[in-house]
Amino acid sequence: MTFSPMFTCFTIVSFLFMAVAMAAGNFNQQFDTTWGDGRAKVLQNGQLLTLSLDKTSGSGFKSKNQYLFGKIDMQLKLVPGNSAGTVTAYYLSSLGSAHDEIDFEFLGNLSGDPYILHTNVFTQGKGNREQQFYLWFDPTKDFHTYSVLWNPLSIVFSVDGTPIREFKNMESKGIPYPKSQPMWIYSSLWNADDWATRGGLIKTDWSQAPFTASYRNFNAQACIWASGSSSCSSSGSSSNSWLSQSLGSTGQGRIKWVQKNYMIYNYCTDAKRFPQGPPPECSMA
């Protein structure tokens, strides 16, 4: 009985944490399904979202909020089995021809053959910064966490907490950096069998449709942009340590490990494509 007040206090605190975590992860509160005529579904009281693709259409969703910087985690479980020809895109993007964009794209494959994780960064409408990776696990068996840390210093792509790519702010060297256009979070599942699997050689097997990808545990520590101002400019920003976070030497080491063992394409080393030498950010990374 002497425990009782403490226990009550602990219980209240746990409930508070639960409420915050659940609000963060609720797809009904954070996202709208935007296309696919019912092929995008929010299930389990907002805890799960699924996208599907069949011969008629793919599907997609979009965040309700716009963000200007954030540390954004999402768990994805990709289309299992023969997913050749399908692409699951998960990305942040602003609007317009001079838009900024931070991309994860998952290119499906025949059963047992590896997915490709394709990444890109667009600044002021210009991309052409592709890096592609194999993953060190089967991304269709379980949910895995794909994260973007986007702050004024750098953009870091991570997979299950392991950084795989960094795009640093090199504005001082004349390279544009995304820092003034708010972005939405988008995802879509569509047919791209003209290029996705072995460069378009393997086509989508529609007898396997519908293809389904699943999402859960969305979490954003982020600056929400609304009516021209940022939620981070108000007080109480002590919890925004991610805004000034950057990769330390451990993180750099992890990136090197991933690039050495799992990177299959890097625009920076594509001499055929850039005969005059790689783009300027490549030599400064």
Active site residue 171: no
User: What one-character-per-residue DSSP string does 256-284 give?
Assistant: HHHHHHHEEEEGGG-TTT-TT---GGGGT
Q: Specify the stretch interacting with ligand NAG by CB under 6 A; choose among 33-41, 45-53, 106-114, 141-149.
A: 106-114
Query: Which is nearer to ligand NAG, 84 or 121 (by Cβ)?
Result: 84
Q: Which residue minimizes CB distance to ligand NAG?
A: 113
| DSSP per-residue letters across 156-217 | EEEETTEEEEEEE--GGGT-----SS-BEEEEEEEE-TTTSSGGGTSPP-GGGPSEEEEEEE
Q: β-strands 263-266, 229-230: how paired?
A: unpaired
Choose the stretch contacting ligand NAG; rule: CB under 6 A; options: 29-37, 94-102, 175-183, 190-198: 190-198
Residues binding ligand NAG: number (CB under 6 A): 8
Residue 80 in contact with ligand NAG, rule: CB under 6 A: no
Give the Cβ contact number of residue 237 at 10 Å: 12
CB 42 within 8 A of CB 211: no
CA torsion, points 193, 196, 200, 203, in degrees to nearest 10?
Answer: -40
Among candidates 231, 118, 234, which has minimal Cα distance to 182? 231
| Between 48 and 87, CB nearer to ligand NAG | 87
The binder of ligand NAG chosen from 47, 80, 114, 192 (CB under 6 A) = 114
CB 119 within 8 A of CB 125: no
Q: How far is the CB of 60 from ligand NAG (least distance, A)?
A: 20
Window of 27-35, 56-64, 105-113, 240-248 that interacts with ligand NAG by CB under 6 A: 105-113
Q: Does 198 bind ligand NAG (CB under 6 A)?
A: yes
256 binds ligand NAG (CB under 6 A): no
- Residue 166 falls in the annotated catalytic set: no
Q: Interface with ligand NAG includes 92 (CB under 6 A)?
A: no
**Interatomic CA distance for residues 109 and 113, integer angstroms:** 6
Q: How far is the CB of 272 from ligand NAG (least distance, A)?
A: 18
**Enzyme catalytic residues:** 101, 105
Give me the residues that bind ligand NAG (CB under 6 A), please: 107, 109, 113-114, 116, 196-198
